[in-house]
Chain A
Amino acid sequence: MAKITFITHDGEKHSVDADNGISVMNAAIDNLVPGIDADCGGECSCATCHVVVEDKWMAVVGPPGDREESMLDLNPEREANSRLSCQIPVTDDIDGIVVNVPEFQM
């Protein structure tokens, strides 16, 4: 179980509780957090669940995997802490995590 806070581009905070085993993307979709599209349904193949992870949480979630990296790499608005939220599993370790949702998903 983890509490996840999404901050949308206009500064609005959405905090949700998520069960272990789903992804951060699922937690956003299940709770109607705006700005996460997830067109491919969570298979790391559309890059429309892009989030930018707050600095101090990067060490916990770690860097993107190879496939995720190749999708992120094509996004002109990619940042150092960019992740695809469908590739971040919810665990007790990420309880309290804060991620920023970009204005547009590509």
Chain B
Amino acid sequence: MSEAIVSLEEAREDAYSMPLEDLNPAQAELFEADAIWPYFERLRKEAPVHYCTTSEEFGPYWSLSKYEDIKAVDMNHEVFSSEGAITVDDPDADFELPMFIAMDPPKHDAQRKVVAPVVGPANLAALEPIIRKRVCDILDSLPIGETFNWVDKVSIELTTQMLATLFDFPWEDRAKLTRWSDVATANEESGLIESEEQRQQELLECLAYFTELWNERINKEPGNDLISMLAHGESTRNMDPMEYLGNLVLLIVGGNDTTRNSLSGGLLALNQFPDQMSKLREDPSIIPNMVSEIIRWQTPLAHMRRTALEDYVVNGQQIKQGDKVVMWYISGNRDEDKFENADDFMIDRPNARQHIAFGFGLHRCMGNRVAEMQLRIAWEEILNRFSKLELVGDPVRVRSSFVKGYLELPVVLA
């Protein structure tokens, strides 16, 4: 399956003609080709809790594709563990990066609490004017009337600046953050790196760089940036180097890839649904709800994975202790039983906020409010400036079943 799936029509034919048990949605090529949809559509209808045994890459795994099943498992951290791995891909045993997203309570809670204030309400209020200024500077520098890549010039630039602010990272080196974010989730297939050795090498360079920042901040009074919080936090100050690196990777990827791809996804959605662009121009007060709808429609992280700690029945299917369970947020957000006309982008969708892209339960996205704020400000300022945002070529998508995003979106502004 999927060797040469390049169009949605072919994908539909393929998805519905194969035996159900052969269906394997964890294929990066299907995401890259934007051809994954019919596979999830069939799973939601015919096998909402589905066991795949045909993945040579990841071994056997369960797929949850319905909103309510995903939510129930996400909330049940006592049975469905995050310990050690939170994607369908198991980490390399020689290069394990402990990070709190991949831990269970109580350690998860203790470490998360150290860094949560950086994206807490008090800090958010302080951040808003800074974000707005940076958004304005970026938007004011964009060319008018000529084609450029929105991903590079807007989405990456804005989220990288934001991340550099949260880390109080040396400004001139901030492009390193983008690179480390990309490398952290890359594999040899992605084209970003040549080999796993190269990936590990680059991440160790990341660690070395951040170790200098740690040493600099541990010797100062506690500050409001993430590094200082980790260095001074009771539950984090004695982390070993790989654990420090793991949590850095978590904060870099969590704060970067996700918002970046939602910033790109919003532009694509408004181009694919031009009536929504008109509606937005007529009533910009819809922006906060549109932000939730963008996050639902894009779902920048396509899945999270859990491991069953005991035998457990989900929606009639017997999951066994030790089984890998993949919660396909991307599919839950297109579940017609939860969202009417779920494939449509509707900026005034009444229940957009109930999207499952942030997850539910203890591991619910920590930076959700910062992400929403960035997207809200970006769209407020975009509408203030440009009368037209036209997509002039096909998007190039990331080859991954985890990070659902874009490499290129050619755009012309007026």
Question: Is A76 a contact of B360 with CB atoms below 8 Å?
Answer: no
Question: Is A77 a contact of B109 with CB atoms below 8 Å?
Answer: no
Separation in Å of the A88 CB from the closest CB of chain B?
A: 19
| Proximity bits, A68-101, B CB within 8 Å = 1, else 0 | 0011011111000000000000000000000000
A-B contacts at CB below 8 angstroms, number: 57
Question: Given A45-B361, A74-B362, are A106 and B121 neighbors across the interface (CB < 8 Å)?
Answer: yes
A37 within 8 Å of B by Cβ? yes
For the complex, what is the distance from the CA of A40 to the CA of B362, rounded to whole Å? 13
B369 within 8 Å of A by Cβ? yes
For the complex, what is the distance from the CA of A11 to the CA of B284, rounded to whole Å? 27
Identify which of residues 368-389 in chain B touch chain A, using a CB-to-CB cut-off of 8 Å: 368-369
For the complex, what is the distance from the CA of A9 to the CA of B368, rounded to whole Å? 21
User: What chain A residues lie within 8 Å of B112 (beta carbons)?
Assistant: 74
Question: Is B120 a contact of A76 with CB atoms below 8 Å?
Answer: yes
User: What chain A residues lie within 8 Å of B116 (beta carbons)?
Assistant: 74-76, 106
Question: Is A74 a contact of B120 with CB atoms below 8 Å?
Answer: no
Separation in Å of the B283 CB from the closest CB of chain A?
A: 18
For the complex, what is the distance from the CA of A75 to the CA of B74, rounded to whole Å? 19
A41 within 8 Å of B by Cβ? yes
A39 within 8 Å of B by Cβ? yes
A43 within 8 Å of B by Cβ? yes
Question: Is A71 a contact of B362 with CB atoms below 8 Å?
Answer: yes
Most buried by A among B105, B113, B121, B354: B121
B117 within 8 Å of A by Cβ? yes
Question: Is B74 a contact of A77 with CB atoms below 8 Å?
Answer: no
Question: Is A70 a contact of B105 with CB atoms below 8 Å?
Answer: yes
CB nearest neighbor in A for B75: A45
B153 within 8 Å of A by Cβ? no
For the complex, what is the distance from the CA of A102 to the CA of B125, rounded to whole Å? 13
For the complex, what is the distance from the CA of A53 to the CA of B144, rounded to whole Å? 53
User: What chain B residues lie within 8 Å of A58 (beta carbons)?
Assistant: none
User: What chain A residues lie within 8 Å of B74 (beta carbons)?
Assistant: 45
Separation in Å of the A27 CB from the closest CB of chain B?
A: 18
A55 within 8 Å of B by Cβ? no
For the complex, what is the distance from the CA of A40 to the CA of B369, rounded to whole Å? 15
Question: Is B109 a contact of A104 with CB atoms below 8 Å?
Answer: no
Identify which of residues 12-71 in chain A touch chain B, using a CB-to-CB cut-off of 8 Å: 37, 39-41, 43, 45-47, 70-71
User: What chain A residues lie within 8 Å of B121 (beta carbons)?
Assistant: 76-77, 102-104, 106
Question: Is A106 a contact of B120 with CB atoms below 8 Å?
Answer: yes
For the complex, what is the distance from the CA of A86 to the CA of B203, rounded to whole Å? 43
For the complex, what is the distance from the CA of A100 to the CA of B109, rounded to whole Å? 26
User: What chain B residues lie within 8 Å of A40 (beta carbons)?
Assistant: 71, 354, 360
User: What chain B residues lie within 8 Å of A71 (beta carbons)?
Assistant: 361-362
| Proximity bits, B110-154, A CB within 8 Å = 1, else 0 | 001100110011101100000000000000000000000000000
User: What chain A residues lie within 8 Å of B113 (beta carbons)?
Assistant: 73-74, 76
CB nearest neighbor in B for A77: B121
Question: Is B364 a contact of A45 with CB atoms below 8 Å?
Answer: yes
Separation in Å of the B80 CB from the closest CB of chain A?
A: 13
Separation in Å of the A31 CB from the closest CB of chain B?
A: 16
User: What chain A residues lie within 8 Å of B124 (beta carbons)?
Assistant: 104
Identify which of residues 54-95 in chain B touch chain A, using a CB-to-CB cut-off of 8 Å: 71, 74-75
Name the contact of A106 in the complex, choosing from B353, B360, B361, B369 (C-beta under 8 A). B369
Separation in Å of the B98 CB from the closest CB of chain A?
A: 19
Name the contact of A74 in the complex, choosing from B109, B354, B369 (C-beta under 8 A). B109
For the complex, what is the distance from the CA of A47 to the CA of B358, rounded to whole Å? 12
User: What chain A residues lie within 8 Å of B369 (beta carbons)?
Assistant: 104-106
Question: Given A74-B112, A102-B121, are A43 and B362 neighbors across the interface (CB < 8 Å)?
Answer: no
User: What chain A residues lie within 8 Å of B117 (beta carbons)?
Assistant: 76
For the complex, what is the distance from the CA of A39 to the CA of B358, rounded to whole Å? 10
Question: Is A45 a contact of B105 with CB atoms below 8 Å?
Answer: no
CB nearest neighbor in B for A102: B121
Question: Is A46 a contact of B360 with CB atoms below 8 Å?
Answer: yes
For the complex, what is the distance from the CA of A71 to the CA of B109, rounded to whole Å? 10
9 new A-B contacts, CB < 8 A, other than A43-B71, A43-B360, A75-B120, are A45-B75, A46-B358, A47-B364, A70-B105, A74-B112, A76-B117, A102-B121, A103-B125, A105-B369
A residues sitting closer than 8 Å to B (CB atoms) are: 37, 39-41, 43, 45-47, 70-71, 73-77, 102-106
CB-defined A-B contacts under 8 Å, sample of 19 = A39-B353, A39-B358, A41-B354, A43-B75, A45-B74, A45-B364, A46-B360, A70-B105, A74-B362, A75-B116, A75-B120, A76-B113, A76-B116, A76-B122, A102-B121, A103-B121, A104-B121, A105-B369, A106-B121
- List 7 A-B pairs, minimum CB-CB distance, nearest first: A104-B121, A76-B120, A45-B360, A76-B117, A45-B75, A45-B361, A76-B116
